[in-house]
Structure 1
Amino acid sequence: GSTSSVNTGPNSAFEGSNYAYIEVSGQSNEDKASLVSDILFEGSVYCLSFAYHMYGKEGYMGDLVVGTGTSSTGSVIDNVLLSKTGNKGNVWYTAAINFSGSTGRKLIISASKGFTLHGDIAIDDLTIHQGTCSNSVDPCYSQPCNMGGTCSSTGGTFSCDCNQGYLENDCSVIDKSNSDNFLCDYEADTNCIFNNVEGDDLDWRPIQGSTPSSSTGPTAAASGTKYTYLEASLPSAKDDVAVMDTTKYKLPSGAFCLSFSFHMLGNPGSLVVSAGERNGNMNSILTRTGDHGDLWQQTQTTIIPYDDLVISVRGIRGSSWQGDIALDNILLTKGPCSNIDPCGQSPCVNGGQCSPNYNDGTFTCSCTSGWVGDTCQLQDVTTGITFTCEFTPGENECVFTNTQTGDDFDWTLTNVKTLSSSTGPDVAYSGEYYAFTEASSPRQPGDVATFTSSTFKLPDSPLCMQYHYHMYSEPGSLVITAGERGNSENQIEIWTGNQGEQWHSSIVQIPQFSDAVISIQGVRGPTSKGDIGLDLITLQKGLCSSPCGSFPCQNGGICTGNQDGTYQCSCKSEFTGSECQLTDKRLETSIACDFEDNEVGCIFENSLSYDDFDWRRRT
């Protein structure tokens, strides 16, 4: 009878009442099932004949591969005899293959799940005999006519009488010549005119939610819940290509407007759309390359008339695994583009004004003062000299924020001790507030919280960075990385494990990048006693070897270096001294120390040297 899933698998056996099949429901994408012969074939030539059935969702079914391997390769095929992929219609096909067993070979039949629940693959009536397959086999024996077409043979050749709606010599092309509009929104489990092709390196995959990799790919579809994407993680490599095209469909003649939404964040390669005649040369009509920000963008292009149009979409993997490319809402409409507004989704943010280019479906953003980027998404601080993060609520000088994607949890701001005992700081290093990673449940070992400067456009110069950290008991790691926007970041510094129950200071040099992004990662350790504290981060334009490189100006003071190797500090209004080290109380008539409110306002503090232990405040 039928397999347990609808719209896939055979209704009955090829012969008799039973057959073998893979049930893809409940399996992960690209899972594989293999039949391996329990004997080695020893002999010169054998003939394998069998029937196979591959019926399901067009473009998303898996593969059927028949081949041989040695006794040491397990179920790995090292000599492919036959490979079939995709939907072949609700019909049984037959195949006859010669193979050699001269060195002792196992016969292996492998079937895989693609990217759909409608992808059951079946085999039946498998026979093996020594000697070659008969040369006098009827050319219709292999049932070359797809989608239920009727085969007839004359003089060793065959011809197909195709069912209504199918074309070409083998009935493999679906006739859509009378349709005007085609939509691939990946919501319903229906056939899209764009399907993965054989012979490329990667597949386009349908997905719901975020892609698996951090700092790349969208977190949701452009509309609805599903979209398709190219996964750039291993085992994919630089310049690997994923191709989907319309070769399975006969499209109408005339001009078309192709529009779609795309998402290219991180370090993607290129997205290339081409069009041309079936079996002819393809002409590139639209290309997008590199990082386009963490947002869906819409584009369109007019396709000139062809007699038998084929459109292909190629995703080319970039140099990094953080290069997922995603597509959604692919719409092909008869007639040239005229009424799709590239500014329709208001891509320009932070008050930017959008100007559409209807010729190629692109747009240009005119940003308001203080904002830059393709969509005005970056705060422009390129003219700044010093940037300070004291984590006081409402401060506007900090260039580090919690990243919105790609990590597991956020840094938290507090002005009291962390909740866990025997870990974390009791008070801030400077001021009242500090940031920390909370290692308690539901956090797991290896979870990461990331501060990033990615929402700011930093100065195009070397940067000297000072920060203060607290790692007590069983923390994981604190990692500083930096790099060009859109590329992989390089590790600058790392601290791991217990560093004692006190605040530490570190100064690191950030190399010059044309568009620098700096990240601070807190990695959760093996237990809940692993809170990591972070406070008073200062970024200063220039080299750490400069007069200001030792960060002599305290309490947010701005340092200016002199040619003679000295420096001057410009202090905030409430501080004074050559290095802004003193709280300015000169205008106050009375000063009280009642030790309430964590000693705020008291002019007495514990000495950092010359004594043996500290005074403590107690409730």
Structure 2
Amino acid sequence: MVRTERSKVMVNGIWKNLPLHLQGNRVTVNAQGDALVLQTDFKLSIFYLRSGAIQVIVPSQYSNRICGMCGNFNHETEDDFKIPDGYLVQDTHVLGQSMCGEPTLLSVCTDAEEQKYASEVYCGILTSRQGLFSTCSSVLNADSFFRSCMFDMCTTHGDPAALCNAIEAFSATCDKVGISVLAWRNTTFCPVACGPHSHYNSCTSGCPKTCSSQDATGSCGICEERCECDDGFMLSGGACVLAEDCGCWANGQHYLIRETFMEGECEQQCQCLGNGKIQCSPTSCKTDEVCMVKDGVLGCFPSSPVTCSAYGDPHYITFDGKAYSFWGTCNYTIAKTCGATDTQFTITARNEGQNNSATSSLNSVALDMEGLHIVIGKNKQVYANGGQVRLPAKFGSSVSVFQSGPYAQVNTNFGLRLLFGNARLFVQVDERYRGVLCGLCGTYSGSQFDDFLTPEGNTVANPHEFARSWKTNDSDWTCSNGSPDPPECHPDLEDDAYTKCSELFEDAFKECHWFVPPQIYVSSCVSDYCISKGDKAQLCTSLEDYVSACEIAEVFLPDWRNHTLCFADPLPTEDPTPTPSAASCPWSCDFDQDECDWEQLIQDSFDWTRWSGSTPSNFTGPAGDHTTGSGYYMYIEGDSVFYGDSARIMSPVCHTTGKQCLSFWFHMYGMANAMLLNLYIFENNRASKIWSRTNNQGNSWYQGQVEIKPQHPFQIIIEGIRGSNPRSDVSIDDVSIMHGACDHLSAEDLDLTTLAPHPSTPNLNDPHPNCSMNCDFESDICSWTQMVTDVFDWTRHKGSTPTSMTGPSSDHTTGSGFYMYIEGDSAVHGDTARLLSAECADPQPQCLQVWYHMYGSSWTMGLSVYLLQYGNVAKEVWRMREDQGNMWHLARVDLRPDVKFQVIFEGRRGSSARSDVAIDDVSLHRGACSDLPNQVAPPSVPLPPAATMPQPAPIQTAEIPNTSASCGISCDFDRDICAWTQLATDVFDWTRHRGSTPTSMSGPSSDHTTGSGFYMYIEGDSAVHGDTARLLSAECADPQPQCLQFWYHMYGSSWTMGLSVYLLQYGNVAKEVWRMREDQGNMWHLARVDLRPDVKFQVIFEGRRGSSARSDVAIDDVSLHRGACSEITFSDTYGNSDSIRENNMMKSNEEVAKKESWKARDDKITARQRRSLLFRERSRA
């Protein structure tokens, strides 16, 4: 971590962007305010502030086990100055010298740069005998400040902020010792950016006016450099406000006037009324929410469950993922609340011996809570308070028990769920129980180090000692704690077990490897296979243990037996005799009696609700069911969840194949935007969307029909998504499936079920004579190969990708063929997949052409192209980031190789699973891209109604003329802001500015027009996350097609910063016609937007502040031209040549020059290491 670098850290010598997750989230690094924060799963935390201060927090188990500058943590301060050789010293300098190690950072300064930065124009100003600091440097030794300045300047390659920070630190030190320093700042050199209603004063005295004593800055000296409030304003929480807008302080936290916040355990919601007055009212979190601090804010947030499992002989996996085995046959505490929670519970399980051997398995499970005692036997019979009950059963409003496939399932409204059946137990809890549990399932503390916590509060290392400590008093159950050692296994049998159990690494189970790593289950399978003396039935049971864990994670492997030793006779695949008048699957349902074995999926945000009559929310939902008007239906309640949350239910398996008609009735009535109803067919472990509707459809029931043609057993998933406000109630009723074609399909249904193929892509030139990169992926991946130095692989696929709301619905070539894509659901944030071309021995200018698809809501997803030369030097030559709309785009990339070369496509997984990036129709052509004929994207596949957001059109390579419209919209901002005005309905304003913006590592360094003029930008430091600033054009009375052109700059590490363009008509109707999000690199980009107004119109530029102050978004050289952008030639109004190509999103020259080298593995490994490596590689494959 480098003090002056807030957006990235160096890992093993390589810079990595933040936020960063390493080793499966065991190590995370984030920027929080002015600090970099590193945290580990074993509770080590490091806070590194920009000022250079470091705070290290270690857990108690490291007491007397550490050494270094922070001491040995033995609770005795006398021996903290112990040096590595064991001697105790008194001199801190000696201590520091003994701990001094070699710097880990690479040398990043050239000789020329060092000479430059050492001059008096830069760091040399601190030590100059004639400079501004000569008086102070003659008294204070400035050498350490000079060295720090040089280091920071070299590390940041001359970032002006690094120089300013160094000078500011020395100036402050001079002030502290009473040496006055002349004013060294000015408007262009290290200017101080003051907030709204304030100004910079290099020599101000006295205390500033404040709203309260808690707002005092502590700076009340004579002639101090600081920002001070304008006349009539005073300080409130660090900002200058009018007296009537003073905020409030509560528990050391400042709140703005009218700002709301939670108190205590979220039992009170409070609002700042201004001038220190706070009003609070009682509240509570909803049943599926947890009171917690998230992103520094206390509030009610959706819960995320974790799972503990017990299975087999038996084997246990704790909430925090620690695996162990225990062969006791007593009654043991599986999990219980051991801290303060609203609901106390205890889960116990009886183990029973097996066949007079030393082994055991689960016999029954019991749940105790608040006077309710539920027991589930291995035959799935359920008893409550001593009496047998029939399922489904409810106990008050908090607990329900029902049959769910092979399990008896207990659901609660206090964040606990358990499933038991076939000697397998799964216990799920949500985040409200973090750190307050104990038992065989561990502590759920986020660390495995304290999982073996005994009832006495001791942490032990031995699993047998730990497990037997949780034995309960059960006089009705004869038992023993079993052997502390596993049964011995003959080496030959163990090798056979490993071979057979390693089937879990094969393709039959590959779909689940990411969600449930198979290594633990291979180990338990080997153990159980050995104990059973090689019994095939036991082997299949062990493999099924893994399949069951996958199903809990919502990954289904219906055909796994057909690819293993557990192969059974397959079900008949012939179509049964068509019976159009009868349902051909057992799950047709009107929901009047129950849910007909449809199951709520576990890993979604909330559940569907079976309901009768009107829904609780006003102005949304149906008044009654569809069947009779007085029966039941299923619906999602928009009032209980958040925007974008989803609920999914899945049908039982249907074994019929061939053409069938899925019919259902749906109701979508409400004022929310973006509420959704989606239907998927789940076949061969792939979910494909087959139907979708979005937004308000009116207060009526409508019939939906979809024709499907499954070739294998399948299930149907119905997904409801909550819209922008609580009026999002989506309902379904009367679901059925019939053999044969549907009676009628609406035009919208046809759009979703019958996709028109793309026209084929015409060849630009003859195939390249010396290289074999051209590929449409229809037959295979041609000569391209998957790289082994990445994290996961590209996938060859046809049709829609499995993850909803991301990826293409078909390939680019024909609409029914194959393409390559990365599956965002199979990786974590920042993971990369790389595809390597064959070698091309033609080192002359080349044009690489590729069609790419980047659609999804995940930020930081991306696609990069690298030119690989000299065997291992890869240079990034093109990149694209973020959502580019649900369509295929053409990219052309100029390659200028010096020697024979290869090309790498690198796909990057973004912040969520909606990160599917795809490529198709790759080709290489000799010559520059500008020499190739123009090509326009073919018509895109019709989008479902959900995709209503207009997307920016790809920038064409054709040159277009300058045909100005008769409107006063054109402006270069060099003299003023022309006819543009600041909107009063936004949160803050655009700023006219020249030179670099005040915030470091964000914004442009100069304008686009001349390099020395003005531009407009939003200052991220003057707003909070999500705030918007809007700039309104003059009215244009020319209602015909127009082309809006402007240059924009979006550089910074903040996510969700953005720029949008709106077309305003009819006085108050604004439609978004273009948008861009996230960092686009430190350069100006050209955008052209087609406008098609119906009446006189105006244009709005909206800038959005992202998650941090590094959100400076800028625009310049705005112009409007009559006609469509693609139809007119353009000669830049401001004298700049138009050289924009499809690859205009390339990094700046400095960034492009960065080289990445992938080194081959060291082949000098032992046999044991090779087996371990094979184990890991096969689990990843």
User: Scaled by the length of structure 2, what TM-score is found?
Assistant: 0.21
More helix by share: 2
Larger RCO of the pair (alpha carbons < 8 Å, separation 6+): 1
User: Scaled by the length of structure 1, what TM-score is found?
Assistant: 0.37
